[in-house]
Structure formats: structure tokens, C-alpha cells
Structure 1
Amino acid sequence: MSIDYYNNNASAFHADTADVDMSALYQEFLPLLPAGAHIIDAGCGPGRDAMAFQSQGFRVTAFDASEALIDIARQRLGADLAVQATFLEFSAQEPVDAIWACASLLHVPFHDLARTFWHLAKQLKKGGLFYCSFKYGDDESERGGRRFTNLNEARLHEVLAESDLAVKKTWTTGDARPGREHEQWLNAILVKEGD
């Protein structure tokens, strides 16, 4: 199970991802948000992106299902800003401006994704924005103790069909980690249309 993988490999995962340059993705998303917007970092891992958002003046609430990763995130963000929860367990105290789910929802089985998007969309204000990314493809796989749900544009639209989320923009990128640039990712910015 993916949570066990991250609990057992938290330090190595943190070391492998802490210095990855995410600025190109931030530039696609953050300028769309109001100043001081409240962002939920969903599946925050060790808190790299949440820290970047904090440093740019955004309010952040971060959560992850992995106890070991949340321990690292709490050290970096503060105990009150990082919560241990699964996607379906997490509930915001009030609707937020944005959700950031970078390379995290890809661990949710495809048959559970529609329900997961629906639940997370409930945490957003009307007009709120939702960034997510998946390895590009149309299948599910398991590698090294982690499961992956890969999406293309058609599968993304399929899992969003029952939610209040509409696609604002999609684009593909290479992996930002050195030596993995050939791996393609589907990036999406969604907008909440319902109440």
C-alpha cells in the first residue's frame, strides 16, 4: 500500500523531492489566486509546496495520509498547519480558495477518484481553483510498493463528471526531477462551478 511505502521511506522521499524546482507549475496556478488566498495542499508529503506558498504570503493548510511525512511537514510548517488525514477524511473548517494536489491523487484507485474529487470539491468556495497532476496514461499500475492511477484528458473528464469541477486548463510536462524528464505528466487546473 502506498501509505506504507511513504511511512517506510519518508526521509529518502523528502531528500529526493525537496529541491525539485516547481516554479513553472507555481506560475501556472498562483497568479490566478487572490492575494493571501487560503490553499489546501492535499497530499502534501514533506511540505515542500506548502512552504513555498507560505513564503509567497498565502495561507496554507496541509494534509497527508502518511504519519512519517506529516511529521516532517509539521516540523517545517508548524503543528497546527499540517494534519494527518486521507483525502476522504479531510474536511476544511471553512471553504477555501484553492486546492493543490501535486502528484498525490495518482495514488487513489481509479474507481475511487470520482468520489475523491467530489469530496475535495466540497472544501472549495464557488469559483475556487483546484490544481492536480497525474502521470500521463490510461491505466493503473504498481511499482515498488506504490500504486498509480494514470490519467489522460478523457479519463480526467470521466472522473469529474459527477463533481462541481470543470476543467479550466490542461497541459503536459516532463518530470521535473533530473534524469526523469522523459516521464510525461498531465497537469490540470479545475474550477468549482457549483455552490
Structure 2
Amino acid sequence: MTLKYYQDNAQTFFDGTVNVDMSSLYETFTKYLAPGARVLDAGCGSGRDAKAFLEMGYRVEAFDASSAMVELAREYTGLPVQLMTFADVDWKEEFDGIWCCASLLHVPAVELPEVMRKLADALKPGGVWYVSFKYGEGEREVDGRRFTDMDEEGLETLVKRLEGINFNKLWTTQDKRPSRNELWLNAIQRKFEN
């Protein structure tokens, strides 16, 4: 259902998100990264964030589940964006930073603990991990897309299950798109050093 939405609306989604100013969120994430760090943009959509991190000098890998979005993101970023889902993630301690901006919210709630574990496994000790969800509780469908909303308690419960991951910061923001008036839950998490 959600995948079909992005397949059918890839260009519209790309056009509506590619120029959104995310610099304040980038700063919160990148202050934990060393120059040249390896970053994964997980569920990269338009490739906007992957391109920004690339231009900051990071080594970036990106993936998305929609082949139409992957094609647009490859063209926009010049990166070999991979076609894969969160379920396909099998890296082990390879990334200094993982960026999940408005992407994990499409994972059904029942699958989130396993997906979060896979991403935690992909993060190097000492690494930083950004996630964002639409603020709320429960699951819903809007215009052919599934959303798993999250509040502080829900996200804290999810993260407590992950060995070696803790919160550095948990905060809310208004949607960065001028036409939207939605509240987002953001989190910066760190993986303990061995």
C-alpha cells in the first residue's frame, strides 16, 4: 500500500520535499560525526539529506524501498542509491551515523522492534542515530500510506529494548514544509562504546 503510493507519486513527493530546509536537524546530528564519517540515509526518499551529507564531506550510502524514488534519488545525488527495505538491512557496525528522517514511520508497529534492532546493529560503537516520527500514538492510513505515529513514551519503550543504545536528545518540531502544520517527534540516539 505505502510502496504503491510512492511508486505512483514519486515525482510529486520528490518535488514537495527535495528543497525543504533541514539544516537545523542536520546540525543536531552532524555535531556527533567526525569529518569523513560514514553515514547511512535509511529510507532516503528524494535523496535530499544524502546529498546534503555528501556535500558536507561525509561518505554516504542510501537506500529506499521504492524503485521510482531510488531512480530520482540516484539522479539527484549521483550516489548508487540501493533498492531495499528496512527488513533487508544486515550491516554489522559499519556506520558512524544513521539517518532515518520520516522513514521508519512507514514500518508497521509490530515490525518496528526488529527493524530498530537491525539498524542498531549497523551502527558502530560510539555512533549517532537520528529518527523522526509524526507525533502521536498508534497506526493509521492516510491517502494510501500507512503511518506508525510515536510519542515520547512509545519511542522510549522501543529504544529500551535495544542493547547499548541510549537517548542523547528527544524533542518535537513543527513540519519544515511551509504548507504543513504537523508535529514531529525527533530523537538523537547514541550507541555505547565497547
**Shared topology, TM-score over 0.5?**
yes
Runs of 4+ displaced beyond 2 Å = 76-80, 90-94
Match of 1:34 in 2: 34
Equivalent positions of 1:10-29 (< 5 A) are 10-29=10-29
3-state secondary structure, aligned to 2:41:
strand
- Residues 129 and 190, structure 1, Cα contact 8 Å, conserved in 2: yes
1:161 CA displacement: 2.4
CA distance in 2, matches of 1:187, 1:138: 14
What letter matches 1:138 in structure 2? E
What letter matches 1:185 in structure 2? W
> Deviation digits for residues 92-133 of structure 1, max 9, x if unmatched?
476110100000000011111111100111111011111000
* TM-score, with length taken from structure 1: 0.94
The answer to whether structure 1 residue 179 and structure 2 residue 179 are counterparts is: yes
Match of 1:133 in 2: 132
3-state secondary structure, aligned to 1:110:
coil
1:91 CA displacement: 3.1
Fraction of identical pairs, as percent: 47
* Larger mean Cα displacement after TM superposition, 68-77 or 53-62: 68-77
* TM-score, with length taken from structure 2: 0.95
Equivalent positions of 1:105-144 (< 5 A) are 105-144=104-143
CA distance in 1, matches of 2:146, 2:193: 31
- Residues 91 and 122, structure 2, Cα contact 8 Å, conserved in 1: yes
CA distance in 1, matches of 2:190, 2:31: 14
What letter matches 1:144 in structure 2? D
Match of 1:160 in 2: 159
CA distance in 2, matches of 1:125, 1:108: 23
- Residues 93 and 125, structure 2, Cα contact 8 Å, conserved in 1: no
> Deviation digits for residues 128-148 of structure 1, max 9, x if unmatched?
111000001112110000010
1:77 CA displacement: 2.7
3-state secondary structure, aligned to 2:131:
strand
> Deviation digits for residues 132-190 of structure 1, max 9, x if unmatched?
0000111211000001011011000111222132111101000000121x310000001
> Deviation digits for residues 67-101 of structure 1, max 9, x if unmatched?
00001111123353x10100120234761101000
Match of 2:190 in 1: 191
* Larger mean Cα displacement after TM superposition, 90-99 or 119-128: 90-99
RMSD: 1.4
What letter matches 2:143 in structure 1? G
Match of 1:103 in 2: 102
* Larger mean Cα displacement after TM superposition, 42-51 or 152-161: 152-161
CA distance in 1, matches of 2:64, 2:26: 20
